[in-house]
Amino acid sequence: MVTFSRICPFCESSCVLKVTVDDGTGDVSRIVGDPDHPASRGFICAKSQGLRALDQDPDRLTRPLLRRGDEFVEIDWDEALDLAAAGLTRIRDRDGIQGLGIYLGNPGAHNAGVMLGMPALLGAMPALMVSAASIDSFPRFLVSLLMYGNQARIPVPDVDHTDYFLMFGANPMVSNGSMMGAPDMPRRLKALKARGGRLVVVDPRRTETAAVADQHLPLRPGSDALLLLAMLETLFAEDRIDPGRLKDRVKGLDRLRQLVADFPAERVADATGIDANTIRQVSRDFASAPRAIAYGRVGSCCQSFGSLAIWLLDCLNVVTGNLDGDGGALFPRPAVPGYLMDLRFQDGEAPYGLLRSRVSATPAIGMSFPTQVLWEEMEVPGPGQIRGLLTVAGNPALSNANAGRVVRALKGAEFMVSIDYYLNETTRHADLILPPMGHLKRSEMTVIYNEWMVENCLTYSAPALPRREDEKSDWDILIGLAARIAGVDEGTFLKQHSRGFVEAIAHLLPRRPANRGVDDMLSASGHHPWPERLYDLLLRCGEYGDGYGAYPDGISLDWLQAQPSGASLGPMAPGRLPEALATPDDCIHLAPEPFLADMARLQTAVAEGRFDAGRFLLINRRHPRSNNSWMHNLHPLIKGPDRCLAWLHPDDAEALGISDGQRLRIRSRVGEIALPVALTDTVRPGVVSVPHGFGHGDPAVRQQLASRRAAANVNMLSDDADCDRPSGNAAFNGVPVTLSVAD
């Protein structure tokens, strides 16, 4: 038996595992937590066992598949990559780069090979690229861009030192924390209470996190912004505003004061479902706490007014002096430069809305459009229509809003390539499926999620299992495809791409030696294979790097490899502002115009009765043994009772005349589903909760276990037109629906 330390690739916490492998058979025999990792300290969740099941899943593809009619046949890698490059190049040469689209799914962000390989592919094949970030994170990025000047400036809760944690739309007891890399959240929340702190959860459902909170506010779905407006109005009205040391760095305070004056607690109480006295009490408690955090995540982002909610949450932190202060919301200083996240003001202008989509004129954040733009660009004919598609580690047929439209767009693609483990609801429409080898056969290093970790940890994982000659990693596939599209061999392409990549992110490499070129640096890292050479370069030129010898006490990949359980460079620290600001005036902007303009839409929604009692609103939910849509074929994670049930309050069930276990029909503007109902008082009246990621009933899919638990796809109900307008983020929560007993 051989035991390896390994980064868990299934959530943002990036816990480190001890994986034991039978060196005779190569099978994984045991997975436990690594007690020596400085952040996770031996903690693991149930999802970690999926690593073993994924490695042994007989349905996981191991060779490229080519569509021939209605069937798929196995082909070799050279033929597969040649065909993929030829098909995509044909469309590019005929229609231009606007004829190509790329969809990047969530698992790609947990894969350094993908995160380093995608810029290479885009360099060779520019295309309209969308990612799963626009399903759950665009409001957060847009708020950071417009308030702080850089979308990478994401305030992270200092959970280990706060006295008051106000949490909107987040369930870290299940998710392990999002944009808050804090492994073992149960331990951290217990410690918060042990030191006399308070946890207050705002959520339409009594989630697993709300169940351990000191106070739970079950607001109506989608009304987060209204509640926050009233909280800010209370603080202004009672003269509780104090930005502290940042007061001279704050702009727009008077404009914010004028805006919130129209939203006293009494005005929003009915719409939010939270009485005025409670709103004021929570507002006062937050402002009077010595150290407090206001934090909102997926539930607050994935709604029609997600940008307003996240903006107002950040305003609450700023005006109470809790931004960039001990126990408040802090800005990490990661060791790996944020080359993918970095998007900042340019020539005094925010890179927002400078590009707009062909069909709906949707604004881009930088170069990134929300996912629904891809599907409309594929569906609507005319010059610039997307005819070629590449999907990477994503299943948008289940995970995107208005899934019926997504499937129609996939069916209509002229040529489609998918990089994926499975023949699933999305890849079944592809002409070619290129399956990467398993996690345990490739190297890994945290290159994205260290942007928002409470502990500045670094971990490198060497391959734990040998690869076969006919296997390729995600990096290999992307580089092989990019080189063919560029018309050069892979070695030449890697040199060309690396030079361009390093020059493009030069402003993020403070310890890049002035006297050494990119080729020279990569040569000095040449004892590492690819993509480790880029890992090494990023570490050595980053804030803590050795600068290729210029800083003898700095770090490198060699240094990190000598610490298989990972290394810590210390916890987050306050005091990064104003240095971390990238606005033209080095100030925090409390009143960005796109958010002020969107207030009219919120007021219209209230006037039209969107939040009135007697209407049903749909919300999603997450399970600790599930990760979106792609882990439902792994027995340790899918076993047990059916989870895809519609949760409904008993009072609503009585009014509808439906009993526990009966089938409930749910209709929205764009579709309908039917599934069994489970009665529970954990959801507030007027709310129905359905988990996302299910709906595996397509007979063309090759996922035996998932197909037996087909259930219903809740995204047949989510409406791509009813999105968060400023950012374009999908709205999966607060979807207006009607309910009835299914026949």
Say which amino acid occupies 729: N
Pick the range with the lowest mean pLDDT from 154-168, 184-198, 577-591, 615-629.
Answer: 615-629
Burial grade of 707 (CB within 10 A; 0-12, 13-18, 19 or more) = middle
C-alpha 430/C-alpha 282 separation (Å) is: 51
Residue 669 sits in the same domain as residue 725: yes
Last residue of a domain, one of 596, 629, 661: 596
Q: Is residue 308, in this structure, part of any structural domain at all?
A: yes
Q: Is the pLDDT of residue 221 over 90?
A: yes
Last residue of a domain, one of 565, 596, 627: 596
Q: Is 230 left (phi over 0), alpha (psi -120 to 50) or beta?
A: alpha
C-alpha 326/C-alpha 454 separation (Å) is: 12
C-alpha 357/C-alpha 361 separation (Å) is: 4
Residue 686 sits in the same domain as residue 715: yes
Residue 589 sits in the same domain as residue 627: no
Q: What pLDDT sits at residue 148?
A: 98
Q: Is residue 640, in this structure, part of any structural domain at all?
A: yes
Contact criterion met (CB below 8 Å) for 406 and 396:
yes
Q: What pLDDT sits at residue 566?
A: 94
Residue 592 sits in the same domain as residue 729: no
With cut-offs at 50, 70 and 90, classify the pLDDT of residue 387: very high
Q: Is residue 66, in this structure, part of any structural domain at all?
A: no
Q: What pLDDT sits at residue 22?
A: 85
Q: What pLDDT sits at residue 623?
A: 85
pLDDT in tens, 11-63: 999 999 999 998 878 788 899 999 999 999 999 999 999 888 998 999 999 99
Average pLDDT, the chain: 95
Residue 646 sits in the same domain as residue 691: yes
Q: Is the pLDDT of residue 339 over 90?
A: no
Contact criterion met (CB below 8 Å) for 399 and 132:
yes
Whether this prediction's pTM lies above 0.95 is answered by: yes
482-509 burial, b for 16+ CB within 10 Å, e for fewer? bbbbbeeeeeebbebbbeebbeebeebb
Q: What pLDDT sits at residue 252?
A: 98
Q: What is the DSSP string of 395-418?
A: -HHHHSSSHHHHHHHHHH-SEEEE
Calculate the CA dihedral of residues 199, 200, 206, 209 and round it to 10 degrees.
Answer: -30
In Å, how far from its chain's centre is CA 504? 24
Q: What pLDDT sits at residue 629?
A: 84
pLDDT in tens, 681-694: 999 999 999 999 99
Q: Is the pLDDT of residue 743 over 80?
A: no
Q: What is the mean pLDDT of residues 66-80?
A: 97
C-alpha 121/C-alpha 127 separation (Å) is: 10
Say which amino acid occupies 334: P
Q: What pLDDT sits at residue 624?
A: 78
Q: What pLDDT sits at residue 225?
A: 99
Q: What pLDDT sits at residue 622?
A: 85
Sheet architecture: strand order including 215-217: 215-217, 198-202, 164-168, 292-296
Residues 6 or more apart in contact with residue 258 via CB below 8 angstroms: none
Tell me the longest C-alpha to C-alpha distance in the chain: 77
Contact criterion met (CB below 8 Å) for 326 and 337:
no
Q: What is the mean pLDDT of residues 612-637?
A: 88
Q: What pLDDT sits at residue 406?
A: 98
Last residue of a domain, one of 596, 628, 643: 596
Q: Is residue 256, in this structure, part of any structural domain at all?
A: yes
Q: What is the mean pLDDT of residues 413-429?
A: 98
Q: What is the mean pLDDT of residues 438-448?
A: 92
Up-side HSE of residue 17: CA atoms within 13 Å toward CB?
Answer: 30
Q: What pLDDT sits at residue 341?
A: 86
C-alpha 491/C-alpha 496 separation (Å) is: 9
Q: What pLDDT sits at residue 425?
A: 97
Per residue, what are the HEC states of 625-682? CCCCCCCCCCHHHHCCCCCCCEEECHHHHHHHCCCCCCEEEEECCCCEEEEEEEECCC
Tokens for 231?
């909280």
Contact criterion met (CB below 8 Å) for 342 and 334:
no
Q: What is the mean pLDDT of residues 616-620?
A: 97
Residue 629 sits in the same domain as residue 585: no
What DSSP state is assigned to residue 466? Answer: P
State which residues form the domain around 586.
Answer: 138-331+576-596
Q: Is residue 621, in this structure, part of any structural domain at all?
A: yes
Spatial CA neighbour of 414 closest among 99, 126, 129: 99
C-alpha 427/C-alpha 421 separation (Å) is: 10
Counted domains in the chain: 2
Q: What pLDDT sits at residue 426?
A: 98
Strand, helix or coil for residue 88: helix
Residue 585 sits in the same domain as residue 677: no
Residue 319 sits in the same domain as residue 257: yes
Contact criterion met (CB below 8 Å) for 546 and 555:
yes
Task: Calculate helix-pair angle for 224-237, 276-288, nearest 10 degrees.
Answer: 60
Question: Which CATH number goes with the domain that contains 302?
Answer: 3.40.228.10
What DSSP state is assigned to residue 362? Answer: P
Q: What is the mean pLDDT of residues 512-539?
A: 94
Residues 6 or more apart in contact with residue 116 via CB below 8 angstroms: 447, 475, 531, 534
User: In the chain, what percentage of residues exceed pLDDT 90?
Assistant: 90
pLDDT in tens, 238-255: 999 999 999 999 999 999
Residues 6 or more apart in contact with residue 364 via CB below 8 angstroms: 352, 353, 354, 355, 356, 357
Q: What pLDDT sits at residue 169?
A: 97
C-alpha 24/C-alpha 1 separation (Å) is: 8
Residue 585 sits in the same domain as residue 721: no
Residue 642 sits in the same domain as residue 698: yes
pLDDT in tens, 123-171: 999 999 999 999 999 999 999 999 999 999 999 999 999 999 999 999 9
Q: What is the mean pLDDT of residues 390-415?
A: 97
CA Rg value for the chain: 25
Q: Is residue 189, in this structure, part of any structural domain at all?
A: yes
653-675 burial, b for 16+ CB within 10 Å, e for fewer? beebebeeeeebbbbbebbebbb
Q: What is the DSSP string of 102-113?
A: EEE-GGGGG-HH
Residue 582 sits in the same domain as residue 663: no
C-alpha 314/C-alpha 322 separation (Å) is: 9
Q: Is residue 264, in this structure, part of any structural domain at all?
A: yes
What DSSP state is assigned to residue 29? Answer: E
Residue 296 sits in the same domain as residue 147: yes
Q: Is residue 282, in this structure, part of any structural domain at all?
A: yes
